[in-house]
Amino acid sequence: MSALPATRLPVVAIVGATGAVGVELIRCLEQRRFPLKELRLFASARSAGKTLPFAGAQLPVRELDEESFTGVDVALFSAGGGTSRRYAPLAVRAGATVVDNSSAFRMDPKVPLVVPEINPQALRGHGGIIANPNCCAIISITPLWPIHRAHRIERLQMATYQAASGAGAAAMEELRESTRAYLEGREYANKVLPHPYAFNLFSHNTRVDPDNGYNEEELKVIQETRKIFDDAQIRVSATCVRVPVLRAHAMAITFECAAPISPARVRALLAAAPGVKLVDDPERNYFPMPKDASGRDPILVGRIRQDLSDPSGRSISLFVAGDQLLKGAALNAVQIAELL
């Protein structure tokens, strides 16, 4: 509960309230008892007239327009890059501080890109817009931060196993529908993702850069890691893959430090790391799984082992799973709003 008097509590708006991230933003505000005077929900004209539950009431969803931000103090955007580019500057002009989930402003040098466990200081002196990082970036590097700080990670390689939820509510529905059709022996024409999704996996559905062969998701992870760690030297590579999991991303990560490091040291650092939970039980072969990460705040980390391909002893491999609708999107955005 807030210690602020009611007159100083903020009016909060969610843009994209009906989406996969939007409904989690509403839930996070409620569960964390975010101190607010009023919550206003916006989406496209398609959703005008719907209601969504918040704190025991049904709140109306309104169509977003240029007047939507009058009287709004904090605006949480999760309605795609185009909507953010058009409306976030209007929200700032109306006096609101924007926390944006899209990629529209992330690499703008004037816009802080923030993971509260890593770089809360980047919020200082913001110009009205704060960017929430890419979901894979948040989930992979939040556990790596304490290791980087103590032992300097020089190189980082990862392969991702990304769930349907990362592509929004319609992609989750496509996974459900196409799986049902597959099991019933029916044809299914995919509408959201570019390839058959049931019992299949494919390279991430973003454009591949013909010059370097990386897709947009992989390039986001590379660039955003450097910006959040404030380390232009760290070498990062990623292979991003969409897998037929409904919710929560997983990643296989190998990193190389400046000097030799042991799995025991990594385990000790992660045991004390905020926002992280160790799930590392070789005897039971029990390690992080999307099933266990779904609907939960912490990022699960396990399979911590020395990388045997590096005889110098400087490399460690591990496996993570995290709910990218929560820590990878809504929860991180609400944590930023709490800091504000």
Ligand X SMILES: NC(=O)c1ccc[n+]([C@@H]2O[C@H](COP(=O)([O-])OP(=O)(O)OC[C@H]3O[C@@H](n4cnc5c(N)ncnc54)[C@H](OP(=O)(O)O)[C@@H]3O)[C@@H](O)[C@H]2O)c1
State in angstroms the smallest separation of the CB of 216 from ligand X.
11
Is 21 near ligand X (CB under 6 A)? yes
b/e per residue 95-127 (b: at least 16 CB within 10 A): ebbbbbbbbbbbeeeebbbbbbbbbeebeeebe
Stretch in the footprint of ligand X (CB under 6 A) among 122-130, 236-244, 308-316, 325-333: 325-333
At 99, give phi and psi (nearest 5°): -110, 115
Residue 36 makes contact with ligand X by CB under 6 A: no
Catalytic residue among 135, 136, 240, 257: 135
Closest CA to 153 of 328, 307, 276, 279: 307
- Active-site residue (options: 136, 148, 249, 257): 249
Q: Does 46 participate in binding ligand X (rule CB under 6 A)? A: yes
Strand 241-242 to 97-100 pairing: unpaired
User: Which of 106/151 has CB closer to ligand X?
Assistant: 106
> Which residues partner with 215 through β-bridges?
208
* 87/214 with CB nearer ligand X: 87
* Nearest-approach distance from CB 289 to ligand X, in angstroms: 18
Name the residue nearer to ligand X (CB basis): 96 or 316.
96
Cα dist from 214 to 203, 219, 249, 279, whole Å:
10, 6, 19, 31
Number of residues located near ligand X, criterion CB under 6 A:
29
Least distance (Å) between residue 16 CB and ligand X = 3
| Contact positions with ligand X (CB under 6 A) in 84-103 | 101-102
Output the smallest distance, CB 338 to ligand X, in A: 18
Q: Does 251 bind ligand X (CB under 6 A)?
A: no
Which residue of 10, 22, 116, 302 would you call a contact of ligand X, by CB under 6 A? 22
User: What distances in angstroms separate CA 340 from CA 13, 73, 98, 259, one per listed residue?
Assistant: 15, 11, 10, 37
Is residue 221 near ligand X by the rule CB under 6 A?
no
Alpha helices in 50-183 (DSSP H): 81-93, 135-151, 169-183
Phi then psi dihedrals of residue 268, to 5 deg:
-65, -40
The pattern of x and - marking residues 158 through 187 that bind ligand X according to CB under 6 A reads -------xx-xxx-----------------
Q: Does residue 120 sit in helix, strand or coil?
A: helix
Least CB distance from residue 249 to ligand X, whole Å? 8
Angle between helices 263-271 and 135-151 (to 10 degrees): 110
Smallest gap from Cβ 130 to ligand X, in A, equals 14
Nearer to ligand X, 318 or 330 (CB): 330
Active site residue 135: yes
Least CB distance from residue 34 to ligand X, whole Å? Answer: 19
Q: Which residues, in sequence order, are CB contacts of 231 under 8 Å at separation 6+?
A: 148
| Closer CB to ligand X, 10 or 133, in the complex | 133
In terms of DSSP H, where are the helices of 111-202?
Answer: 135-151, 169-183
CA dihedral sign of residues 61, 64, 70, 76? positive
Under the binding rule (CB under 6 A), the answer on residue 80 touching ligand X is yes
Residue identified by tokens 């590097």 is: 141
Options 10, 12, 13, 18; binder of ligand X; rule CB under 6 A: 18
What is the set of active-site residues? 135, 249
Residues that bind ligand X (CB under 6 A): 16-22, 43-44, 46-47, 64, 78-81, 83, 101-102, 135, 165-166, 168-170, 324-325, 328-329
